[in-house]
Amino acid sequence: MPTVSPAPRYLIVNGDDFGLSAQVNAGILHAHSNGILTNTSLMVAAPAWGEAVEIARSTASLGVGLHLTLVQGKAVLPARLLPSLTDSAGNFSHNPTLAGLRYFFSRPARNEVRAECRAQIERFLETGLPLSHVDGHVNIHMHPVVLDSLLGLSEEYRIPAIRLTREDVVCSLGLDSSHFLRKRWEAFIFSRLALEAEKKLRQSGIRYPDYLFGLHQSGGLDERYVLRLLPQLRDGVTELYCHPSFLPCPEVQRWTPTYRRDAELDALTSPVVCETIATQAIRLVSYRDLSTLQI
């Protein structure tokens, strides 16, 4: 009888927060050049975003998307145009929950969200970099108001893909059972958001990976976790998103003091991890490949 080849397993490894700092930029480049990172997400108003653009321009093999920022960061539009979203210096709220409630209940805030989404997409496109996809800082893109704004702009700006933040919590807890209650709560919230989001993405013809990891383990990926995850990957496309960086870094300390970004960087460049991916015939791809993969 003829041998049946196993269905391919594809893995996108995305580094979030590109542009946050020189250390984050260097970590993402190192994880791509010397490890398994294939894609990254650019914050277009972050302190080191200009340097990140130059790195991306000189690294054609790195897929780059937009890391839409509507909390815990700075706006592209001037503060006078975003009175419901930012303070007088153009800074968004530090609290995603309070910001999300404002988006729901304030019509001016919803209009400003759409305007800022447009401004961030346009700033990205002005760099000349091909847009691989859109995701959100602290996954704010999954908020229904934000997602609807993105979908309303998707045809005009040809957004090819959007991250669907939906993680199998049972599998995730099997890989690492720490922070059980927090992971269960995240799963409760995001599974419900994802039900509606997936319908809307399908209707709009926007692509997304089949599976995702990184939500429940944000800032806590290490070599052990990745090595336990790889054999669990299913047929199709999985995204693993992460936050690698060299340390010390004042911006990292300011925003994510508990994240072990250096351990994440070590995991992504681990020779054992690289060898395991090769021996298990896992194919590393980027968001740019979603339109051409045969699954």
- Does residue 66 lie within any of the structural domains? yes
pTM of model > 0.85:
yes
pLDDT value of position 294: 63
- Does residue 1 lie within any of the structural domains? no
pLDDT value of position 295: 57
Residue 251, burial from CB neighbour count under 10 angstroms (0-12, 13-18, 19+):
middle
- Does residue 220 lie within any of the structural domains? yes
Q: Are 62 and 295 in contact (CB under 8 A)?
A: no
3-state secondary structure of 255: helix
- Does residue 42 lie within any of the structural domains? yes
In sequence order, which residues have a C-beta less than 8 Å from that of residue 10 and are 6 or more positions away? 236, 237, 238, 282, 283, 284, 285, 289, 293, 295
- Does residue 2 lie within any of the structural domains? no
- Domain of 139, CATH number, reads 3.20.20.370
Q: Are 58 and 280 in contact (CB under 8 A)?
A: no
- Does residue 32 lie within any of the structural domains? yes
Q: Which residues pair with 13 in a beta bridge?
A: 240
- Does residue 3 lie within any of the structural domains? no
Alpha-carbon gap, residue 288 to 209, rounded angstroms:
11
> What's the sign of the alpha-carbon dihedral 179, 180, 185, 189?
positive
72-84 b/e with 16+ CB inside 10 Å = b?
Answer: bbbbbbeeeebee
> With a cut of 70, which residues of the chain have pLDDT below it?
1-6, 294-295
Count of domains in the chain?
1
Structure tokens given for 3: 């041998």
- Does residue 4 lie within any of the structural domains? no
pLDDT value of position 4: 44
**Distance of alpha carbon 76 from its chain centroid, rounded?**
19
> In whole angstroms, how large is the CA radius of gyration of the chain?
18
CA dihedral 158, 161, 165, 169 (to 10 degrees): 170
Tens digits of residue pLDDT in 97-126:
999 999 999 999 999 999 999 999 999 999
pLDDT value of position 292: 87
In sequence order, which residues have a C-beta less than 8 Å from that of residue 176 and are 6 or more positions away? 217, 220, 225, 228
Structural domain harbouring 158? 9-289
